[in-house]
Structure 1
Amino acid sequence: MDDDETELQNPFPSPPSHYTKYTTHNLKLLSLLRERSGDNVAETDQRQVLSDQSDVPDWQLTQLEKPRVDWILDEPDAYYNVFGEMWFVKEKIPSLADSGRSQLYPEDPKIDRRPALRSILRSLLVTYSALMSSLLLPPPPLASEIPPEYQRHVDWISLLTTNLMAAANDLRPVQARANLESMMRRQLEIRKEETQTMHEKCDALEAKLREIRASVANLSNHQTHHKQVGIISSTVTRRS
């Protein structure tokens, strides 16, 4: 149970132990060492230069210097290492030629690749059918140096699928652009729909206000008419 809790609490490797050297005091000593030594920091005896300071470490303060990123970027294939793995600064998807495989579709992106991709897909289906048939054949003799038939089909299917994946990766920028255009068109349509809904609401409110004004005007005219009739009736009654 304790091991499980420890594993859950530490999902990532611990940082290098030298991170504890980056204290405020050590960074101040490094800044002071730069001021007193100038450009010859690496060749300076830090204990002698910082003799008036306390807690000067035994290790070189220059270890606290930030890595020179410009040195990495100046290399033709700039990369850095993280936990023993190499990562390129500019990520590049290896091409089929870099992987040592044949490319079965036109390399020029301006050429329509759809006919070649359809041929690859048809060949993939036919080869898969042939692979299923070859699995029913008896195995070759143990002393035979000729590879079995199914191995040839598997290798060809591997090449076909690799070409399909490479072609799909080449189309990712086009797909991203198309998705962005689709999203922008959808947002424009939503705004148009919202604007149309607002106009319809405004028209409905204006019609309702006109009805209210008309009903108020009719009610006022009706009341005025009743008052006039009442006045005339009262006058006639008094005279009689």
Structure 2
Amino acid sequence: MDDEQDAELRNPFPSPPSHYTNYTTHNLNLLKLLRERADLENADVNVNQHEVLADQTDVPDWPLTQLEKPRVDWILEEGHYNVYGDTWFLKETIPSLAEMGGNQLYPADINLDRRPALLSVLRSMLVTYSSLLGALLAPPPNSSTDVPPEWQRQVEWITVLAQNIMASANDLRPVQARANLEIMMKRQLEIRKEETRAIHEKCDSLEMKLGELQKTVRQSQTSIPQSESKAMDIAEPSRIPSISFSAVPAEDVLRWAEET
């Protein structure tokens, strides 16, 4: 027992229920055979499985019908289902103050305007708080009387008013979450628009710079031929005459080579 408790303390997740071990292949085959022989869909569910499965071995003592899959139509009809002892609702709803056993002073319908009732609750709380201060300054009552003191009644009424304010605030949490989500989405949209605007401005500036560069390149291309023609005119008068080696006879070349 101590080892199991130590394991529970070491394991951050709870251990699974013990009846999950019943879902063995043998038990599932027995359930299938029981369903075929007893016609569980039309017959009584409390059929004696030991009599029906008398020719089988290892028939469990607990009812095999526990291994049946949950009925989805029943879950939809009831609005909730049980899993390992926990009840889960198909549609999560926030219980109202009246459903929890409190004294609800504002209308339960969300579509109705609750502001007049909540303003009355707030005014009543301020008046009750003032009365509570007066009751605290009053002399103590006689100990022989069974009537509760005035301050106690005022505190109880303030508790009821505070519960109404907190419950109404909890009822407005989905509306507040929806409004906050809308604000966040609008802000993200504005940020995207600002980023897109900045990208367009950057693209426009780059296009202007590229246009200026193209204009500069065109001007430089038009000025290059004029400078080349001037350079050719200057270089032609000072050209060095070339020497033709074809006029030297081959015999003179051979003689010069032998002498050297």
TM-score range, shorter chain: 0.7 to 0.9
Unaligned runs of 5+ in 1: none
Q: TM-score, normalised by structure 2?
A: 0.69
**Which residue is equivalent to 1:229?**
230
For 2:164 and 2:146, the matched residues in 1 are separated by 29
For 1:148 and 1:83, the matched residues in 2 are separated by 49
Identity %: 58
**Which residue is equivalent to 1:199?**
200
Q: CA deviation at 1:183?
A: 2.8
Matches within 5 A, 1:1-240: 6-39=7-40, 40=43, 42=45, 43=47, 45=49, 49=53, 51=55, 55-75=58-78, 78-79=79-80, 89-98=90-99, 99-103=101-105, 105-106=106-107, 109-235=110-236
For 2:112 and 2:19, the matched residues in 1 are separated by 55
Amino acid at match of 1:57: P
Amino acid at match of 1:179: N
Amino acid at match of 2:227: H
For 2:226 and 2:135, the matched residues in 1 are separated by 103
For 2:96 and 2:18, the matched residues in 1 are separated by 39
Q: CA deviation at 1:188?
A: 2.1
Contact 1:80 1:86 in 2 (8 A): yes
Contact 1:80 1:88 in 2 (8 A): yes
For 1:140 and 1:62, the matched residues in 2 are separated by 67
Q: CA deviation at 1:20?
A: 1.0
The 3-state SS of whatever aligns with 1:190 is helix
RMSD: 3.6
Amino acid at match of 2:125: L
Unaligned runs of 5+ in 2: 240-260
Q: CA deviation at 1:60?
A: 3.1
For 1:65 and 1:74, the matched residues in 2 are separated by 18
Count of residues in Structure 1 that have an aligned counterpart in Structure 2? 233
Amino acid at match of 2:149: P
The 3-state SS of whatever aligns with 1:165 is helix
Contact 1:79 1:87 in 2 (8 A): yes
Q: TM-score, normalised by structure 1?
A: 0.74
